[in-house]
A = this chain, B = another copy of it.
Amino acid sequence: MNATDIGPSSSSRKPPLVGVLAVVGVGLIGGSFAAAIRQAGAARTILGAGRRPQTLARARELGLIDEAVTLEEAAARADLILLSVPVGATGPILTCMAPHLQPGTLLTDAGSTKSDVEQAGRAALGERIGQFIPGHPIAGAEASGPEAACHDLYRDRTVVLTPLPENREADRRLLRRLWESCGARVVSMQPEAHDKALASVSHMPHLLAAVFMAQIAAAADSELRMTLAGTGFRDFTRIAAGSPEMWRDIFRANRKAMLGELDQFRSALDQAEQSLRDDDDQGLYDFLERAALARRLWGSRSRL
């Protein structure tokens, strides 16, 4: 009898890290967390909650969750709860769950901004704020919904945790181990540092791609332009197709950091435009070379 005949792998024979996991919002992000946790054997039971009954039914059919429950049931039964909902919904959902939580239940989230989520958490949970560790898995895909969920979405991806002073050390450790069991690399930082960095590398690209796309769509020769667009255009604008609702919420939640980044971007744009206007060959070359070297370095280091 060789290793492949033993049945459950050695990792799944260890006791699971948590008994009952509840995922609120079983789309791409929440569904993939459920799938990864199940694959790792890191939870005994996985509950799902959310707005749309048909999404929960689909998640159950797909084997992402064992059972669809209400927010109240999830709060009462779970040992760990992951919220993967639009950031604007974090406060209302936590408010709804708060009265039903067990003293030992650990909460986390997957929202793209962290300062506002911390604020919403404090308002909703009050004295129980120590049970909430905000987080942000930096992963995504073009597709959405439970069908798009995939157990290796988080493999080699970065998950940021922005723990609060009130969190217990054991809870921080547990959450870190759970994300690591999904294949992720976990880093901890202050919510403001997270929001500033994300404004730069995630929210600004979205804003710029959307502004660019809206500008082309409004041009008189829009049809002709679109016909001549190639693969550079395709990649540069891909993110502009994302949900307007979700991105409006993110921009709003991270407005201060984004306005700061916009200032920086405008300065850099002014400088490049000036080189172009002045026919300053060396200036143009130097700026393009700095950009190319930085992008190539990132490409060689990142696993994306």
Contact = CB atoms under 8 A, between A and B. Distances in A.
Interface stretch (A17-25, A42-50, A58-66, A292-300): A292-300
Contacts of A243: 292
A184 to B, nearest CB: 12
Nearest to A213: B291
Interface stretch (A95-103, A116-124, A167-175, A280-288): A280-288
Contacts of A209: 236, 291
Which one of A196, A243, A302 has the highest number of Cβ atoms from chain B below 10 Å of its Cβ?
A302
Nearest to A189: B224
Contact of A241 (B138, B208, B299): B299
A89 interface: no
State the copy count for this chain.
2
A3 interface: no
B265 A212 contact: yes
A264 B225 CA distance: 14
B217 A208 contact: no
Nearest to A255: B276
Nearest to A233: B201
A197 interface: yes
A6 interface: no
A52 interface: no
A143 interface: no
A208 B212 contact: yes
The 3 A-B pairs with the shortest beta carbon distances in the complex, nearest first, are A217-B294, A244-B288, A210-B291
Interface of A: 138-141, 157-158, 160, 187, 189, 193-194, 196-198, 200-202, 204-219, 221, 224-245, 247-248, 251-252, 255, 258-259, 262, 264-269, 272-273, 276-277, 279, 281, 284-285, 287-296, 298-299, 301-302, 304
